[in-house]
């Protein structure tokens, strides 16, 4: 049986249309999901929308629409985006689903049965934008004396009777858990932040609200809805059939929660504490990625400086956008994007290097060999040397990508592509056609082998384009195991497969002018 691998993104607030940060998170998680499928794991991949909470209520009020209508409309934009960006999720979850209410009420009940919930009066600071409670000592003062959260969002004083979760009780169990599971919070910098926060002491957490009703009702407590983060985090369990069990329950605990750095505390502190309380297994890993910045500034729906990922996909193509985000924004760090940077990166690596390599080789074979797979010809040590270099580069990709080195993995992959381009220029098969056709066959055969390896390797990042390239080559098995299949070429040639005249896979993009500084 293949090892289950459950990967999730955060579920996104649909209080506005998705921005490039949301696209980034979905794309990265999708690439990892695809990679794990190639590695032979039994992957389950979930994304979705987080539709309750005060922020949704306030946005709906401002727009003068019922909150459910707002949620339905906006959630649709997120699922459309997932489709457009080729996100291979098995489930797009919405927290308004009845099944999710049941799961949230079940975990609540389990925490209550554990004696971890009690009623008390809450008085403290709340940020609607973050949907988070903060302690006085965490706040800073902004312009005009307004108090700001550590995320820089305004906080307001709230006072109401609420349910509390005994978070304080879990301080030591959490610290013990982090110590025993050093890979639980990644990257290292986020782990250190969390350790400092928990070591500083945990106070009990307010987990219900009475001032509005847009949320999951607290079982047996009229007038209370769950604090949005309780229900939001539970989406990961809902997706595995909790509390009923069943076939999907094999996916719990999750292998990886992919989330942004601003919500690490919820995933690495509150979530494992809730799960411990409910007697459930803890996820294996929480990865806090960095932020996509627009000219060095944070983007958010509330700030209104968002980039529309759909427009970028239309302008440059989905695969160019996917490749850029994973290649140019160091995985785990913040990074900036601009339309110009996307086009430059896509042209340099995809069109001019990889695409051009494949196009030149396949078109030449289609034209001069009538598409037949080149024969063995006359080999040369340069051929084996190229295949060794490409093999190592791709093996390095697999090693790095499997351990969250996404950006470095792409650099390693490019080294293989670069070696192919050097080889094709040095061997110049077009010249050999007249002078040494036997040698030409060996060169072209070597290139086909190398291109196949590079295309299989890069498939999780640019699935449509690399998939089309593998179609042109007639490659069926696209798994990691296929990378080690030395017999593929001979077996494929023996089928009589012919390469058709190829259409370019990575169009060269027009480079936009740099936009003037704002
Ligand atoms: O936090 N760059 O939802 P959200 C990269 N509903 N990632 C970004 C980003 C940016 N500029 N802006 C946001 C929520 N993100 C909750 C999550 S999970 C149980 C509930 C990331 O719509 C952000 O870090 O505000 C988060 O991981 C995700 O997008 C959704 O953010």
DSSP 372: B
CB neighbours of residue 49 within 10 Å: 27
SS3 297: strand
- Are 492 and 373 in contact, with CB atoms under 8 Å apart? yes
Interacting residues of 34 by C-beta distance below 8 A, sequence separation 6+: 88, 459, 460, 463
For residue 514, what pLDDT is reported? 77
- List % helix, strand, coil for the chain (3-state, nearest 5): 55, 15, 30
Of 53, 56, 50, residue with least CA distance to 11: 50
Span from the CA of 24 to the centroid of ligand 1 (angstroms)? 10
Span from the CA of 22 to the centroid of ligand 1 (angstroms)? 6
Q: Which ligand 1 atom sits nearest the alpha carbon of residue 293?
A: 11
Closest CA to ligand 1's atom 19: 233
Question: Measured between alpha carbons, how far is 274 from 281 in angstroms, rounded to an integer?
Answer: 10
SS3 441: helix
Handedness of CA 410, 413, 419, 421 (dihedral sign): negative
* Residues with pLDDT less than 50, the chain: 518
Q: At what angle do helices 20-38 and 381-401 cross, to 10 degrees?
A: 120
For residue 300, what pLDDT is reported? 55
Q: Spell out which residues line ligand 1, taking CB within 6 angstroms.
A: 10-13, 21-22, 24-25, 50, 232-233, 235, 259-260, 262-263, 291-292, 299-300
For residue 47, what pLDDT is reported? 98
- The structure's pTM equals 0.96
Structural domains of the chain, ranges and CATH numbers in brackets:
4-289 (3.40.50.620), 338-494 (1.10.730.10)
Interacting residues of 173 by C-beta distance below 8 A, sequence separation 6+: 273, 276
Omega before residue 187 within 30° of 0, cis: yes
For residue 466, what pLDDT is reported? 98
Q: Which ligand 1 atom sits nearest the alpha carbon of residue 232?
A: 19
Span from the CA of 296 to the centroid of ligand 1 (angstroms)? 17
Element spanning 277, H or E: helix 271-278
For residue 303, what pLDDT is reported? 55
- Cite the DSSP H helix spans in 428-512: 429-435, 437-458, 463-473, 480-483, 488-494
Span from the CA of 13 to the centroid of ligand 1 (angstroms)? 8
Q: Is the ipTM of this complex over 0.95?
A: yes
User: Residues 170, 176, 180, CA angle at the centre, nearest 5°?
Assistant: 140
């Amino acid at each position: 049986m293949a090892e289950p691998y459950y990967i999730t993104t955060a579920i996104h607030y649909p209080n506005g249309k998705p921005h490039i940060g949301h696209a980034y998170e979905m794309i990265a998680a999708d690439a990892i999901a695809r990679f794990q499928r190639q590695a032979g794991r039994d992957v389950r991949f979930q994304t979705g929308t987080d539709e309750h909470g005060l922020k949704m209520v306030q946005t709906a009020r401002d727009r003068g629409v019922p909150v459910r209508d707002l949620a339905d409309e906006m959630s649709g934009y997120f699922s459309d985006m997932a489709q457009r960006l080729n996100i291979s999720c098995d489930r797009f979850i919405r927290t308004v689903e009845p099944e999710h209410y049941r799961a949230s009420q079940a975990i609540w009940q389990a925490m209550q049965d554990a004696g971890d919930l009690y009623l008390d009066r809450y008085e403290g600071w709340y940020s609607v934008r973050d949907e988070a409670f903060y302690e006085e000592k965490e706040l800073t003062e902004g312009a005009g004396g307004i108090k700001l959260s550590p995320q820089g969002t305004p906080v307001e004083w709230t006072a109401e009777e609420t349910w509390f979760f005994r978070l304080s009780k879990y301080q030591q169990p959490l610290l013990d858990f982090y110590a025993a599971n050093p890979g639980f919070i990644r990257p290292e910098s986020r782990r250190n932040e969390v350790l400092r926060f928990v070591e500083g002491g945990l106070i009990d957490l307010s987990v219900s609200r009475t001032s509005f009703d847009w949320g999951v009702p607290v079982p047996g407590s009229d007038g209370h809805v769950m604090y949005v983060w309780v229900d939001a985090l539970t989406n990961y369990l809902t997706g595995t059939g909790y509390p009923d069990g069943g076939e999907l329950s094999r996916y719990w605990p999750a292998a990886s929660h992919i989330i942004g750095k601003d919500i690490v505390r919820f995933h690495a502190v509150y979530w494992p504490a809730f799960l411990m309380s409910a007697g459930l297994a803890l996820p294996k890993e929480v990865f806090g990625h960095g932020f996509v910045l627009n000219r060095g500034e944070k983007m958010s729906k509330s700030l209104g400086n968002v980039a529309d990922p759909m427009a970028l996909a239309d302008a440059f193509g989905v695969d160019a956008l996917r490749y850029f985000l994973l290649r140019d924004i160091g995985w785990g760090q913040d990074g900036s994007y601009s339309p110009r940077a996307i086009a430059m990166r896509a042209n340099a690596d995809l069109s001019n290097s990889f695409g051009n390599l494949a196009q030149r080789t396949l078109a030449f074979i289609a034209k001069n060999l009538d598409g037949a797979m080149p024969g063995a010809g006359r080999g040369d040590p340069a051929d084996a040397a190229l295949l060794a270099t490409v093999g190592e580069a791709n093996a390095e990709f697999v090693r790095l990508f499997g351990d969250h080195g996404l950006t470095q993995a792409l650099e390693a992959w490019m080294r293989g592509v670069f070696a192919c381009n050097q080889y094709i220029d040095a061997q110049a098969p077009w010249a050999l056609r007249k002078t040494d056709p036997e040698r030409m066959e060996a060169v072209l055969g070597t290139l086909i082998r190398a291109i196949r390896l590079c295309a299989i390797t890069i498939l999780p990042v640019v699935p449509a384009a690399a998939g089309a390239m593998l179609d042109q080559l007639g490659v069926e098995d696209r798994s990691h195991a296929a990378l080690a299949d030395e017999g593929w070429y001979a077996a494929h040639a023996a089928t009589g497969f012919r390469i058709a005249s190829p259409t370019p896979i990575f169009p060269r993009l027009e480079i936009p002018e740099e936009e003037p500084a704002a």
